[in-house]
Structure 1
Amino acid sequence: MATTTKSEKGAPPHLALFPCAGMGHLMPFLRLAAMLASRGCNVTFITAQPTVSAAESDHLSSFFSTHPHIKRLEFQLLPYKKSKFLTDDPFFIQFEAIDNSVHLLHPLLSCLSPSLSAIVADLPVASSVSQLASDLSISTYTLITTSARFFSLVVYLPQLAQDKNTKNNAGGGNVYIELPGLGPMPVSSIPPAMLDDNNFFAVNISTNVLSLFKVKGILMNTFDWFEAEAIQALNSSGVAPHLAPILPVGPLESFEIEQASDFPWLDEQAPESVVFISFGSRTALSKDQIRELATGLEKSECTFLWVLKASKVDKDDKEGVEDIVGESFLGRTKKKGIVIKGWVNQEQILAHPAIGGFVSHCGWNSVIEAARLGVPILAWPQHGDQRINAEVVEKVGFGLWVRDWGWMGEKLVDGNDIADRITELMLSENLRTRAKEVKEKARQAREINGSSERLLQGLIDSFKSKEET
């Protein structure tokens, strides 16, 4: 049996990557895996089975078929046990199932050859994986799949949870909190579940935050220029003393996969003329809001590509496009736009020269992809970290955010208002210019001597030096 204390002398470092459920978690881990492999590392990618969504399963198959040099390590989750938490969110249920099954990885990881140098874990399983890694005598790192700004709130949660005024005003009101080094943050931007002691989301965060003081480093899909204030606050120990070093190694690079999801229709459109609408892999708007969005698109008279989602999990999504938006809408707009269902390669679409604007829920992958590709955003956050991510978009200045639109479906946004904002997005030269400046800063971060590339290469070199000692 292979030992796990160190890899063979002189061998490339061997890293295991372990994401949780959902495309928002999977994508940055796949990108990091491809980047590490292209820089000479041996990479093992851990996948829990079964996945929640068909999109995850399909994407994993495509990824490994085009990256055969990356080893896939599948492990079967234990049968689901009824949770003590009242949640019907299939992704939270999967988080808990993965956490309950992590111990099954011990014999699988201990037999790997070459032996592991380190494991990079997702935050929702960081605590369990840290214990596993300690038993195997290997280092643990964490890859954070949200913004540095929201992550600052995450690590500040233990102090925040003790503030009754904050908890009483979760999700609304004019109350602000002061995060060290970050200034005031509206309590209305904090997900209410995060401050609910009986909610799985809050308990999971509180448990796993403690492990962040033991890991060797915290990798983030962001870059110094983009979130300088939050990164500095985290690394200065202002937000959380004794936190592991923050390593902004983004924007993580795209990778090639086998797919047939290209859109020749886009090739026929004028440069920067199409508005792209997508609310990510987990967010489904209400039927009423979908109809108002359709009205807004039609009234804006902008050319559009709309990725429509009507249920949280794609396996449950049985309705056709015409059943949701109506055949009459599709008929009236057939020369102006396309409505599709199912997961698409969003980064590929955003990279197309025809795309001139992005109506987004502000999931972090969406924000960082738009930043890397220079596409201005109309921010319409829905839940979780998305309001705080929208603050980043607004602060950097490459997007619009209409705070009055609310979130979590609390308001029905009128189609006329949507039309006005889409028109503003698509006609704003200031936003377009700023988005191109952001794109250039992102490119510079990924250059050989760029801030993010230096950190990533330095991390790889540190593994190599340990193997040689």
Structure 2
Amino acid sequence: MESNKQEKSMSIVMLPYLAHGHVSPFYELAKRLSIKGFHIYFCSTPICLEPIRNINHFDHDHMNIHLIDLQLPSSFHQELPPHYHSTTNLPPHLVKTLLAAFDASKPAFSDILKTLRPELVIYDVFQPWAVEAARELNIEAVLFSTSVQSQRIKYDVTYLIESNKELMEYLLENSVNGLTPIQRFFQCVTSSSGHVVLVKSSTEIQAKFGKPADVFGDLVPVGPLVQRPQDHDGDEKIMDWLNKKEASSVVFVSFGSESFLSQEEIEEMAHGLELSNVDFIWVVRFHGGHNNVKTIHEALPQGFLDRIQIQGKGLILDWAPQAKILAHTSSGGFVSHCGWNSTLEGMMYGVPIIAIPQGGDQPLNATLAVDMGVAIEVPARGEKKITRQEVAKAIKTVVVEEQGKEVRRRAKELSENWKKKEDEEFHVAVEKLLQLVQQSKN
């Protein structure tokens, strides 16, 4: 097969769901495909594309990626203004409205496809209408699954029901336009061209699940697709602080862009970090300004900021370059909500995880990380709340104490293995896509 010739001539439209946890891995996949010579049309709402447009040197580094604005129908704008065309900071009562508006954007998406005439569409798990739009124009369409949750459904629905009833209730009961999330998912899986489903995963993770049912076709790992460390304005202070710390001595604390601790949990986390006596960087976020807490000073225990500043023990930030911090030699632990992107970043950079899952697929991700030997979990599921003692104990175990030696060793080992196999796994995925499109042409 003349791969180079085919790669250079092949164009792809990519359509992620309107959430940062979906847009980010889709964009990482777009970057890897663009390096291979594919022409990528990355399609989403303007608010979802805004962070990508703000990336330094975008035009120079990724000339094969073109950003395409998808406008949600104006009939939704009164209830759902453009700054809510993303799940980030979206009020909970508007979640279903956003999905309904996304569904209603099929005509606009079809117009984009008619104009661009790509050879392939890569779509997400919540929009079966994207496959319909592609098929109506005789364009192949392949599903890209960005979470381990959807991969686990492929193997064992019973496991999900028993391990995370709250998640399964959401997947089975929250209907929009007559479709529950689980129905959307299965429609997207079974409609994927050639029964090929790309998964943000590795062969090592896939091996943990065993063989999927035949209905799910060919699951093709594209690798972890973690962000590469990038320079941002204001990084110097953080990097200077890290550079002064010993190797593997700092714990990084972040709960992602859409998970937020309560006031009580913030206080317990603060005391836990102090009790651990481990240096830390903590990203403290509040939900879209709706939280009653107005400032970090009001959220944190009295005197906490003064104490850590005097001692030089920690940095409190409202945003941080996560990949850059995790890749730093001083990082020795990652307190995480275990969103799938964050979990894979911790694994890829060899930083053992202190798991405190909040909801959704995060408990499943935490369990997987523990099973793979690269994490320990703070007991805080269900009715059990985060306590300072458990936080301090977990951090000290992972970063300092002898009993955490095996977790630290396994994290480094997994990271080295993944880095060796990353290009090979991605090459296999690329060949699958080329074969699929070529067969369609023939």
| 364 and 89 in structure 1: CA distance in 2 versus 1, 3 angstrom threshold | farther
| 152 and 254 in structure 1: CA distance in 2 versus 1, 3 angstrom threshold | closer
Q: Please state whether the residue corresponding to 2:73 is helix, strand or coil.
A: coil
Q: Which residue of 1 aligns with 2:315?
A: 338
Partners in 2 of 1:190 and 1:358 — Cα distance? 26
C-alpha displacement at 1:321, in angstroms?
1.8
Alignment deviations for residues 409-455 of structure 1 (CA, whole Å, 9 cap, x no partner): x44322122111111111222111000111022112214xx3x1332
Q: Which residue of 2 aligns with 1:163?
A: none
| 296 and 92 in structure 1: CA distance in 2 versus 1, 3 angstrom threshold | farther
Match status 1:103 vs 2:107: yes
The answer to whether the 8 Å contact 1:190/1:385 transfers is no
C-alpha displacement at 1:366, in angstroms?
0.7
Q: Which residue of 2 aligns with 1:46?
A: 43
C-alpha displacement at 1:274, in angstroms?
0.4
Q: Please state whether the residue corresponding to 2:40 is helix, strand or coil.
A: strand
Match status 1:260 vs 2:233: yes
State which of 24, 45, 55 in structure 2 corresponds to 1:62.
55
Partners in 2 of 1:466 and 1:153 — Cα distance? 30
Alignment deviations for residues 322-347 of structure 1 (CA, whole Å, 9 cap, x no partner): 121145100011110011113x3311
Q: Which residue of 2 aligns with 1:4?
A: none
**Aligned positions of 1:419-434 closer than 5 A:** 419-427=392-400, 428-434=404-410
C-alpha displacement at 1:89, in angstroms?
5.2
Partners in 2 of 1:377 and 1:24 — Cα distance? 19
Match status 1:229 vs 2:203: no
Q: Which residue of 1 aligns with 2:415?
A: 439
Q: Which residue of 2 aligns with 1:141?
A: 142
Q: Please state whether the residue corresponding to 2:43 is helix, strand or coil.
A: strand
The answer to whether the 8 Å contact 2:29/2:225 transfers is yes
User: What is the TM-score of this pair, normalised by structure 1?
Assistant: 0.80
Partners in 2 of 1:214 and 1:376 — Cα distance? 38
Partners in 2 of 1:319 and 1:277 — Cα distance? 21
| 406 and 467 in structure 1: CA distance in 2 versus 1, 3 angstrom threshold | closer
Alignment deviations for residues 63-119 of structure 1 (CA, whole Å, 9 cap, x no partner): 744534311111211132879xxx82555543332122122111222111xx31111
For structure 1, which segment, 192-201 or 205-214, has the greater mean C-alpha deviation from structure 2 after superposition?
A: 192-201
Partners in 2 of 1:207 and 1:110 — Cα distance? 24
Instruction: Report which of the two has the higher share of helix.
Output: 2
Match status 1:154 vs 2:130: no
How many residue pairs match? The answer is 413
Partners in 2 of 1:44 and 1:194 — Cα distance? 32
The answer to whether the 8 Å contact 2:338/2:366 transfers is yes
Q: Please state whether the residue corresponding to 1:282 is helix, strand or coil.
A: coil
| 103 and 362 in structure 1: CA distance in 2 versus 1, 3 angstrom threshold | same
C-alpha displacement at 1:468, in angstroms?
7.5
C-alpha displacement at 1:357, in angstroms?
0.3
Q: Which residue of 1 aligns with 2:325?
A: 349
| 91 and 443 in structure 1: CA distance in 2 versus 1, 3 angstrom threshold | farther
Q: Which residue of 1 aligns with 2:303?
A: 328
The answer to whether the 8 Å contact 1:275/1:302 transfers is yes
The answer to whether the 8 Å contact 2:351/2:412 transfers is yes
Partners in 2 of 1:372 and 1:256 — Cα distance? 12
Alignment deviations for residues 142-187 of structure 1 (CA, whole Å, 9 cap, x no partner): 111111xx22443479xx6xxxxxxxxxxxxxxxx458xxxxx743
Q: Which has the higher contact order (CA 8 A, sep 6+)?
A: 1
Percent sequence identity over matched residues? 26
C-alpha displacement at 1:259, in angstroms?
2.5
Q: Flag structure 1 segments of 5+ consecutive residues without an equivalent.
A: 1-7, 161-176, 180-184
The answer to whether the 8 Å contact 1:227/1:392 transfers is no
Q: Please state whether the residue corresponding to 2:204 is helix, strand or coil.
A: coil
Q: Which residue of 2 aligns with 1:458?
A: 431
| 454 and 323 in structure 1: CA distance in 2 versus 1, 3 angstrom threshold | same
The answer to whether the 8 Å contact 2:350/2:415 transfers is yes
| 202 and 391 in structure 1: CA distance in 2 versus 1, 3 angstrom threshold | farther
